[in-house]
Structure formats: structure tokens, C-alpha cells
Amino acid sequence: MAEGFVDDENLEAIVTRIEQKSRKIESLLKHPNVDPPDGRSKPVEALKTALEGSILKTRDERCKSANWIVVHRAIMAIKDVDAMLSYLDPEYYDILMKYLYRGLATGDRPTCDQCLKIHEKLTEKAGLGCILRSLADTVNTV
């Protein structure tokens, strides 16, 4: 185990955080008529919420799976990829790319369709360096 990773007793806290995140995303996706104050679209806000703090300081696979389900929900809710990328801040590009590869690894048809669609646009925007960073990082996996 690498240093800096949290102990098992903190797993509870991580799970609680994921649950909170999930509720927030669900409410954002369920009430599309109420716009957020800054006028950004709902699915993008949901995706940002999902990506925030999602480098889990744990190697517990159950936590990662639970987190992935939340992010997956947000990714699948994206309809307009171009608009999403123009709203999403560059600091989220690398982490989003990691989740796209996780999505492609599932082999699930609709998930792969969606991930490939985003992957193409994201690579256009963020370059090959983004792919390299997400693939080369074997420590902070998602």
C-alpha cells in the first residue's frame, strides 16, 4: 500500500460522500426546469459534481465501483457533447478522460457509444497529452 492512502475506517466516510454526490446528481438531473444560478446547463453541473473529488484516496474496489456508477449516470445524461465541453473547465479534462476509458472497458454498448462520442471531442479539445496522462497514471486510478 502506498503512503497517503486512507485506512479502512475512512471507507465509511467515502461511501457517505459518494451517496451525497449521487443524491445531488439525481436532483440536478430530475428537475431540468430549474436552472442553476449561473445559467449553465444541468447535465454539465451534474457531471462536474460527479468528477469533483473523484480521485479516491483508496484502493478499495467497492468504493471505486460505487463512484463509477455515479459518474456513469452523469456521463450518460450528456446530450450535447460540444456544449458540455465548452462549459467544462480544462482542469476536469484529465479526470474525465480516465472515466471514459473506464466506460470503454465495460464493453456495454450504449456506454461505449457515449464514451467514444465524448472521447473524440475531448481529444480534439485537450490533445493527446490528456490521453497519455490518464493512461500513464497507475496510482490515481478511478
Residue 96 Cβ, how far from another protein at the closest point, in Å?
Answer: 14
Q: Which is nearer to another protein, 44 or 130 (CB)?
A: 130
Sketch the per residue contact string, 122 through 141, with another protein: x for CB under 8 A, - otherwise: ----xxxxx-xx--xxxxx-
Nearer to another protein, 66 or 123 (CB): 123
- Cβ-Cβ contacts under 8 Å for 44 (sequence gap 6 or more): 78, 83, 84, 87, 88
- Min dist CB 93 to another protein, Å, is 9
d(CA 120, CA 93): 13
| 85 closest CA partner among 116, 121, 138 | 121
Distance of alpha carbon 44 from alpha carbon 62, whole angstroms: 26
Binding track over 32-71 against another protein, x by CB under 8 A? ----------------------------------------
